Structure 1
Amino acid sequence: MQTISFAHLSLMLLPLIIVIHFYYKYTNDKKEIAYATIRMVLQLILIGYVLIFLFKTKDLLVGICILSFMLITSTIITLRITQNKNYKHYFIIFISTFLSAILHLILIIEVLRLDSFYEPRYIIPLAGMILGNIMNVLSLCIERFEKELLRGEDFIQARNISFKASMIPQINTLLAVGLVSLPGMMTGQILSGVDPLIAVRYQIMIMIMCISSGGIALIIYYKFKEKLTSY
């Protein structure tokens, strides 16, 4: 696989600078994208070293700590965009994310037929994909759900509207994959020399995982929301 130097990687900053300029022009915020980009680069470099350590040690306790940190962080980021930021709402988001993530991790372990329950080379990246996907779906859902309630819709109608809206990106991705775009995981595998037909099987697993993990998290969220709190 072709190695990318940091000097050549910096070429990707050229179009980003244009985006930052117009983002500032249109929103009067000149820091957000730059801050997010710098943070992304630092976080990825750091996690690269962490993953090297995890792959070598295969310590289950360390893995549990990493997965717990990822879960807590994704929940905090989801809570950030909500109007209701109390501990009860955090708990609802946390438990919805956890239950959906653990269900899909168990299924993936079975699908991949791993030698042991904890294989960090598989579990950590896949858990990150699951948690990131759930975080995005829940964020879209909650933001729309709260807006519908403020508009005067009842719980059922707000739930139905926000559920459909938050699933649109997931469904669009399913419809477009292979016709409009080649997903990141499949592209990465092909670039690294994996047989395209093998890469396709992995991508099918990931695509199903993405739509179902987000959907299950939403269903759990609505059930807890209905039972434990009201607006």
Structure 2
Amino acid sequence: MNETIQVIPPFNLALAFMPVLLVLVIMFRWSLQAGNAIYALLRMLVQLLLVGYVLTTIFAAEQAWIVVAVMLVMVSAASWIALRTVEVKRQQLFVYAFWSILMGGGLTLALVTQFVIDLNPWFEPRYMIPLAGMIFANSMNSISLAAERLQAELKVKKKYTEARSQAFQAAFIPTVNAMFAVGLVSLPGMMTGQILSGVSPIIAAHYQIVVMCMIFGSAGLSTALFLKISRKQFI
């Protein structure tokens, strides 16, 4: 199989924004929050371009402390973003979100990188950082959904245990849907990227199975831990 991936020229890359522009036009005409969408697009563009240069430097350095520092920054950012939908006590809840993502996601990341993939060295940046990003991002999304749903359930005077169950179930809907859809509706990012780079689809499928398991496990563990340790803040 071809071992190289096709480079996208700048002009071709710009063509990818054509559907984006059409959606923005629709949002403007329908008086939706187009400004927020534009801001999100600009942030996405700047952040991805910057991270490309940063990761190139990190991969070349191959220093364990740099990889650990990057992952701590990722956990901190994920913890703060996860609480974006929380109306009160965001700063107090940050600590709980941080430890939930660090413990739930960190344990899953350690299992996958040190025992499933068996990295050598243990901090191999080309594997560690992308896998950590997937794990922490999914933990972040699940905690965000759980926190928002928990607040809503408690507002209607439901008992905490019942509200917690509803919050956990709501937070897990995207993860469960992704498990149902993978291979039938979508080829996820990890598998698609490997196939495009020339890896055998069978090998890519094995890696994707690992990814789906780690997403399911890390999201569930982080969300459950967050709901457990943050109870007093919500009550």
Q: One fold, TM greater than 0.5?
A: yes
- Which structure has more RCO (C-alpha within 8 Å, separation ≥ 6)? 2
- CA offsets, 1:138-157, max 9 Å, x none? 11111111111112211111
- Counterpart among 114, 120, 126 of residue 131 in structure 2: 126
Task: Determine the structure 1 residue equivalent to 2:176.
Answer: 171
TM norm structure 1:
0.95
Offset of residue 46 of structure 1: 0.7
Q: Distance in 2 between matches of 1:122 and 1:9?
A: 26
The equivalent residue for 1:229 is: 233
Matched residues in 1 for 2:62 and 2:187: separation?
Answer: 32
1:63 counterpart = 2:67:
yes
Q: Within 5 A, what are the aligned runs for 1:52-91?
A: 52-91=56-95
**TM-score, scaled to structure 2:** 0.93
Q: Structure 2: how far apart are the matches of 1:180 and 1:133?
A: 19
User: Taking structure 1 as reference, are residues 24 and 230 closer, same or farther at Cα in structure 2, changes over 3 Å only?
Assistant: same
SS in 1 for 2:157: coil
In the alignment, is the contact (CA less than 8 A) between 2:146 and 2:223 conserved in 1? yes
Asked if the contact 1:159–1:222 (Cα under 8 Å) also holds between the matched residues in 2, the reply is yes
Correspondence 1:7-86 to 2 at 5 A:
7-86=11-90
What SS class does the counterpart of residue 172 from structure 2 fall into? Answer: helix
Aligned residues: CA RMSD: 1.3
Contact 1:79 1:85 in 2 (8 A): no
Change (3 A) 1:205 1:18: same
**Cα drift, residue 85 of structure 1:** 3.1
Q: Residue 220 of structure 1 corresponds to which residue in structure 2?
A: 225
2:90 and 2:160 map into 1 onto residues whose CA distance is: 19
CA distance in 2, matches of 1:81, 1:124: 26
- Structure 1 residue identity aligned to 2:197: S
Partner residue of 1:203 out of 208, 213, 218: 208
How many percent identity over aligned positions?
Answer: 38
Distance (Å, rounded) in 2 between the aligned partners of 1:151 and 1:198: 49
Gapped regions of structure 2 (runs ≥ 5)? none
Q: Which residue of 2 aligns with 1:4?
A: 8
Pair 1:155–1:24, CA change in 2 (3 A) = farther
Whole-Å separation in 1 of the counterparts to 2:28 and 2:174: 26
Q: Does 1:117 align with 2:118?
A: no
